[in-house]
Chain A
């Protein structure tokens, strides 16, 4: 009897499962329909945080512009761009590229020179160097110097171009800053300045103001621009966090993926070092300026003692002693020690999406901490689209992506002397646009035209319009599009306009052959070995050691260099200068 009940229940469940499943229709979706009448070009797009809406728009425009073309393929009228979105990077393209149906690829994380030497990618030099029919410029002219140097092979050819640019940094809730007056008062020395809130950090007293007061000049040292009132130094940043805590706001949140913090600390390092010195981490012996400043011990007051050294492949581990690394570690340590970061950040359930949800929900929900800042990459706002939509449903239009004022904070400077130095942003990974080498001649011409179109000023603007971020090219955004951007998009664009970008790649042989090891995505960038109670430990991330007071920033920093130096010769001796 009971058995029958179970069996019936089981059958019912199975039927229910199959019914729900079959209501979803087909087993597989093949993607776009291919128009057999037109010349076809297949494009693969890495559909990560930035999505693919921008490409859809460009596809339509391109197809419309070439609707009557007959020159691309014999007997075909018009063009049909077919877009294949790839969500998971797990399956690497590599050797399978020849048989891949797609012709043009928009990807991330591929090692460019490996693709070139393996003959997987096609020469697109003329695309890069010819004047573009769409905006009268060459694509080459839109590239930063060192990006151009990286993509141009030694025989002056291009086989790929960069794709998006993304920085990791501090994202803050501008509305919250306005409402709660988290801005620094401009003239702290002025007597009788009504300091709304006063906190102590070190021995200095800072006063804060709302938007009505005169705000300080910010990290760039210039008053009257985008960073006014924001913390200029790490010390000010800590003072601001104290202020937030006093008012019951959790200053900061980050997610539990170790590599996000690796990116973040690398970005702080880049901002401290500036572009040339930061590039030494990727160029080693081929650095433009081979003299770099490194830390040689610490003074009694805890400040690093800086000396100069000449970098080469042989002593490449010296870059692990750059002061920027120390200050970045010290910054993160303070965040943890002072309780500026939410304890949630350490939970195994706090992945990227959950952290975004917590950050965006915080101030609307009594049950959640109100969080002022989130450490994330610039793609996060696009990734959190669904969270914005949900919030718009429950909290109304003010919580929508278009209206909610969020921003990307320029990095505060490690020391007061650094105030006024230009903001340096770090592109956290290598990205690429390329054409496979096995493409047919007819499609090759079309592919080149398509790349020119996408990388024209109008195409780049379209990318920005949809993603609220930028591609790794220098271009002006039209006013019309700028006005349509979300507040966050505007902020990221401002940062891009006001910063010097670093691209984490070079043609140095040591770097190219071991790019995994030198990437901030892998743990090797912050591996550190140090003594704890007589045992030599190795850590791949400083977060837990700091939280548990296992290592001080100085110990961890010295361990980073030690780990690099200990393993340098064994791993890389074949790239040493003779």
Chain B
């Protein structure tokens, strides 16, 4: 008897739970279907379509893909774009990541003035990128040549104007404004490291160097890995802020894939959309392969996840 009451009680609870679950899950799921599934499916279908003013969209087979592949093979800015995208990701990996981790560690250890640095590192993420860009362009191409002019009486080219250094300064700008986001997660991850572990390391007479590489990095590695894997998705969407600097008129040797995609989206009318879809699908496929490769490498050759 008692058993049964308990059971019906449990059933009742289970049913209530289900109702509650459905009630709150319904909207997100519908939203997901409309704005994610339908949107992406639509893009998928578009990739196989053509457009003209009289009949609207029509089936066009693989024409769009042929066009994209032709352009990738022949158009200079596609090649530069892909190269620059990879370099951009590489720079993030080789310079952005170590700097981010080092700064985060500095703040985590509450070293000298870390309270102030914390604020400053995050400030560029708070101040709009539009603002930072206006300041950067005026300093690099306006103020520095003017200082040189005032000192020597000669004119000089702005730092961003030289195509050999332009990419460098664009990268520098990106790094300059980008510490905030990742630092948030890194410091968060470090803060979760049990104090006892750090104390133990200190008692063992570990130097900062050892502590950083043998305790802190392995224990925060799962967070870093996540950001790295998710970052792959950004390879072909990052536009290096070219659109902000040059609108749709950037020079071809500065192109980066994300910018090309954005430029196409902004300037295209209905007839241009199928091409973008095909382009997007190809990029998605490449991203998938790169993501799997990245995960494979990270799992196999770096620290393992530590549960604590």
Contact = CB atoms under 8 A, between A and B. Distances in A.
A/B: CB atoms within 8 Å of each other = yes
Nearest to B143: A349
Contacts of B156: 343
Contact of B77 (A350, A369, A538, A548): A538
Interface stretch (A38-46, A222-230, A383-391, A539-547): A539-547
Contacts of A523: 249
Nearest to B150: A367
Interface in B257-273: 269
A118 interface: yes
Nearest to A367: B150
Contact of B53 (A118, A346, A367, A548): A118
A342 B246 contact: no
Nearest to A250: B155
Chain B interface size, as a band, is 20 to 34
B164 A257 contact: no
Contacts of B74: 566
Given A523-B249, A539-B252, A347 B161 contact: yes
Contact of B142 (A349, A367, A529, A548): A349
Interface stretch (B133-141, B226-234, B287-295): B133-141
Interface string A212-228: 00000000000000000
A348 B164 contact: no
B76 interface: yes
Contacts of A347: 137, 141-142, 145, 158, 160-161
Interface string A536-567: 11111100100010000000000000000010
B35 to A, nearest CB: 23
Listed residue (B74, B246, B252) with the most chain A CB atoms within 10 angstroms of its CB:
B252
B75 interface: yes
Contacts of B141: 346-350
A369 B153 CA distance: 10
B245 interface: yes
A23 interface: no
A122 interface: no
B158 A537 contact: no
Listed residue (A257, A343, A523) with the most chain B CB atoms within 10 angstroms of its CB:
A343
Listed residue (B141, B155, B161, B246) with the most chain A CB atoms within 10 angstroms of its CB:
B161
B195 interface: no
Contact of A346 (B77, B137, B161): B161
Contacts of A538: 75-77, 252
Nearest to A248: B153
B122 to A, nearest CB: 15
A12 B272 CA distance: 49
Given A117-B53, A529-B76, A548-B164, A346 B251 contact: no
A259 B249 contact: yes
Contacts of A529: 76
B160 A348 contact: yes
Listed residue (B142, B157, B158) with the most chain A CB atoms within 10 angstroms of its CB:
B158
Nearest to B133: A348
Given A117-B53, A343-B156, A346-B158, A539 B140 contact: no
B253 interface: yes
A540 to B, nearest CB: 5
State the main secondary structure of chain A at its contact with B: mixed
B251 A342 contact: no
Contact of B245 (A348, A369, A537): A348
Contact of A342 (B53, B75, B155, B249): B155
Chain A interface size, as a band, is 20 to 34
B138 A349 contact: yes
Given A349-B141, A544-B163, A548-B163, A343 B252 contact: no
A259 B253 CA distance: 17
A348 B75 contact: no
Interface string A421-461: 00000000000000000000000000000000000000000
A477 interface: no
State the main secondary structure of chain B at its contact with A: helix
B259 to A, nearest CB: 13
Contacts, number: 75
Nearest to B154: A343
Interface in A127-172: none
Given A347-B142, A349-B137, A537 B160 contact: no
Contacts of A258: 249, 251
B155 A369 contact: yes
Contacts of B158: 343-344, 346-349
Listed residue (B74, B145, B249, B269) with the most chain A CB atoms within 10 angstroms of its CB:
B249
A150 B67 CA distance: 33
Contacts of B269: 92
B53 A257 contact: no
A249 to B, nearest CB: 13
Contacts of A349: 137-138, 140-142, 158
Given A349-B137, A349-B158, A541 B251 contact: yes
Interface in A328-359: 342-344, 346-350
Nearest to A347: B141
A537 B253 contact: yes
Nearest to A529: B76
A305 B249 CA distance: 33
Contacts of A566: 74
Contact of A348 (B137, B150, B252): B137
Contacts of A539: 76, 251-253
A529 B80 CA distance: 14
Nearest to B135: A349
Interface in A504-551: 523, 529, 536-541, 544, 548
A27 B161 CA distance: 40
Interface in A250-301: 257-259
A410 to B, nearest CB: 29
B249 A346 contact: no
Nearest to B54: A117
Contacts of A350: 141-142
A142 B288 CA distance: 62
Contacts of A367: 146, 150
Nearest to B169: A348
A344 B145 contact: yes
- Across the A-B interface, give the 10 residue pairs with the lowest CB-CB distance, nearest first: A347-B141, A538-B76, A346-B161, A347-B158, A349-B137, A348-B137, A343-B155, A349-B142, A258-B249, A348-B160
Interface of B: 53, 70, 74-77, 137-138, 140-142, 145-146, 150, 155-158, 160-164, 245-246, 249, 251-253, 269
13 contacts: A258-B251, A343-B158, A344-B145, A348-B160, A349-B138, A349-B140, A349-B141, A349-B158, A350-B141, A537-B252, A538-B252, A539-B76, A539-B252
Interface of A: 92, 114, 117-118, 257-259, 342-344, 346-350, 367, 369, 523, 529, 536-541, 544, 548, 566, 570
Given A258-B249, A367-B150, A538-B75, 17 more contacts: A117-B53, A259-B249, A343-B161, A346-B157, A347-B137, A347-B141, A347-B158, A347-B160, A347-B161, A348-B137, A348-B245, A349-B137, A536-B76, A537-B76, A538-B77, A538-B252, A544-B251
